[in-house]
A and B are shown apart, each in its own frame.
Chain A
C-alpha cells in the first residue's frame, strides 16, 4: 500500500514541478501574434483552396494584416462581401474586383466532334496530354477525363456523359481557379459573372485554320471574323484563327451569336435574338432588334 502511495505522490509532485517550469518557459518564450489575424481568419471562408495564391486561409489572413496595401490580395471564394468586411475591420481599403465564374471554352460534343481513335490508358487528362492530342482530331479541345472535376473542392464541375464535356454549376463555382490550373489544355477561363448567371463566350480554343477545324469539329471557331465585324462594342477580337469575347467590353447584345456560322458562340440563360429578319432582308431590318436588345441589356 505504501509503495502505491509513494508512486502516486512522486508523480503528482513531479507533475506539479514540471507544470511550474513549463509555465515560466511559456511566459519567457511567448510568441507575440497579432490577435487580428485570428479574427480575419474567421472572416475568410476557411476552404483552404489556395485560390488567393497563399497556402491557406491562415496565410492569407496574415498577409492581410501585415500588408498596408491589400488591394492586390483577393479571396475569390469570399468575394467582395468578405473582402469589404475584412477591410473595414482592418481599416484598409478593399480591393475592387467583379465576381467571376469558371467557364469551359470547348463546345466539341461527341456528336459535333467525332472520335477518330480509341484511348484505353490511364483516365487522366494530364496523362493523355503527355501522350498525344486525344481521341478526336482537335488538338485543343476538352479531353473529358475530368482532371478539373477532381481538382474542384466545391463540387461545381461535372462531366456530362452525353456530350463528353465538362459542365460548370455557376452557383457552386467560387472562381478559386483550381480547375484553370488543372486543365492541361488551358480550356477553363475565369470570366466575369453577369447577373442571373448569364454568360456569353466563344466555346473554342482552337488556333488551327478554319479548314482544319471543320475537319475535326463542327462546333469550332474557324476564325472567319464575322462576329468581330458585327460587334458594336469592339469586344470581339480574332487572333490566331480564334475569336475571343472580352467580358469587360461585352454588353450581352448577342448580335454575334447568329452571325457565327458554326455556332461556336454560346449563350447561357439568355434567349438568342430572333433569326427571321436576317433571311429576307439581310442588312436594314437588322438594325431594329439591335436597338431593342441594347436597351434591354443596359437596364
Chain B
C-alpha cells in the first residue's frame, strides 16, 4: 500500500467520535457575519451597502484580482452593517452583517437534489463558473480553485488527484461527504477532469476509511465513471498535504517553492471541493455552505453538520450540548493544524472543516525542556527539514541562515512539535521564521 516517502507520524485518529453521525442541516441562523477574506489572496471587495436586501446565493463581495474569490450571501435578508469585527482568533476583519428574513434564493440556482451528470461546457466555461461561484480549496488552505485549474502556458496537467485523505485526527466531514454524496463527488471529479483536459483522476483515501473506499469503488463500477480510480493509502499524517499526497499517489517529488504541483503534472483538489464544483457548475449554486464536524471526547453530542457560512462557533457548540466543564480548547479545524478559537461569536468560514473541542488533561501544553538533539523531529518532518535547527535559528533571528536551510518549505503540519520529547514549541518559532523569510524574499523581489 502506498504512502509518502519521508517523515510523518501516527497520531491516534479519534474519528470514532463522529464518524457514524450522518450529515444534518442546522436551522438557519438569524444573523450572519460574513468575512470578505475567507480565502488565500486578496480580500474580496463588498458590493452591497447597509440597508440592501440580499437573496441567498447573491454575490455580496467581488473578487479583487486573480488570486481572490467571490463571496455570496449565505442567507436572505438585509445588510445591517459592513464593519471590522473580531474573527475566531480575535483579529479585526472586515465582515458583512446580514439579518435573516425568510430563505429566498436567487432564482438561477437549481435547488433540486437529483443528480445532473451531463456536462457539455468547455474548460474555460467551467473555470469561469467555478470562479463566479467563489469555490476555494475546502481542505483548510482555501486556495481559490479557479486559480489552481488555470494551468499556466507551457505546462500541462497529466493527473487530477482528489484529496479524500482527511489525515487530520478527529475530523470526519470529508469522510461523511464521500459516503453520503459520492455520486455528486464523482460527477464533480468528471467536471474537474474536463476542465483540466486530463483523462486520469485518482481519489486518495487513507485505509482507516475502508467503507469510503469500497463505496466509491462501487459507484464508479456501477455508474461507469471512466478514468477515476480510488487509491487506498497507508494511514499516516500528514498524507493530506498537497506535496505528500502527490508523492504518495504518483511517486513524484514537487520541487521547492516557487514551483507548484503543476510542475510535476498534478493538480490536487479536496473531496468537498469536488462536490462544491459539481454544485457550482451543474446547479449554479455558489459556495455558501459546507459540512463541518463538531467533535470532542467530552462533548455531549458530536455531529457532522451542513452549515451556512457565518453561523457562529457558539451556535454549533451549543447544538453539541455546550462546552464541557473545566479547561477547554476550541479548535477551528483539527488538533494538528487547526487554530484555537478565543471568540466563539466568530463566524464559520469556507476553510473550516471541523470544530474540535479538546478538554480535560489534553488541554494544557507540557512543560518545555531543553533540546536533547535526539533528532526525532528530523525523522518526523515530511519535508525533510531540520525543525530543531530552524526553530533555533528563528529564535535567534538568524533569518539568512534559516533561508539557507529552506525554512519556506515548511508546511506547518506540526509533526515536529508533536514528536518532540522535550515538548518544545518548535513549529511556533518556525512559523515566525517562515513568515519573516517570506517577507524578506518578497522585499528582495520588489527591489529588483
Q: Which A residues fall within an 8 A CB radius of B? A: 116-118, 120-122, 124, 126-127, 130-134, 137, 139, 207-208, 212
Contacts and interface: CB of A to CB of B under 8 A. Distances in A.
B15 to A, nearest CB: 26
The 3 closest A-B pairs by CB, nearest first: A133-B90, A132-B89, A122-B425
Interface residues of A: mostly helix, strand, loop or mixed?
loop
B368 interface: yes
B431 A132 contact: no
B interface bracket (residues with beta carbon within 8 Å of A): 10 to 19
A185 to B, nearest CB: 12
A132 B364 contact: no
A149 to B, nearest CB: 15
Nearest to A132: B89
Interface string B419-438: 00000010011011001000
B368 A122 contact: yes
B435 A127 contact: no
Contacts of B86: 133, 139, 212
Interface of B: 84, 86, 89-92, 327, 339-340, 342, 364-365, 368, 425, 428-429, 431-432, 435
B438 to A, nearest CB: 12
A118 B429 CA distance: 19
Contact of B435 (A120, A130, A212): A130
Given A117-B342, A122-B368, A208-B84, A132 B428 contact: no
B364 A139 contact: no
B91 A131 contact: no
Contacts of A127: 425, 428-429, 431-432
Contact of B365 (A120, A137, A139, A208): A120
Nearest to B426: A122
Given A130-B431, A133-B89, A207-B92, 12 more contacts: A116-B342, A117-B342, A120-B365, A122-B425, A122-B428, A127-B425, A130-B428, A131-B340, A134-B90, A139-B90, A208-B84, A212-B86
Contacts of A117: 342
Contacts of A116: 342
A291 B368 CA distance: 59
A124 B432 CA distance: 11
B342 A126 contact: no
B425 A121 contact: yes
Contact of A139 (B91, B368, B425, B429): B91
Contacts of A131: 89, 339-340, 428
B429 A132 contact: no
A71 B47 CA distance: 49
B250 to A, nearest CB: 33
Nearest to B89: A132
Given A121-B425, A122-B428, A122-B429, A132 B365 contact: no
B425 A132 contact: no
A117 B431 CA distance: 22
Nearest to A130: B431
Of listed A131, A132, A207, residue having the most chain B CB within 10 A: A132
A120 B428 contact: no
Contacts of A137: 90
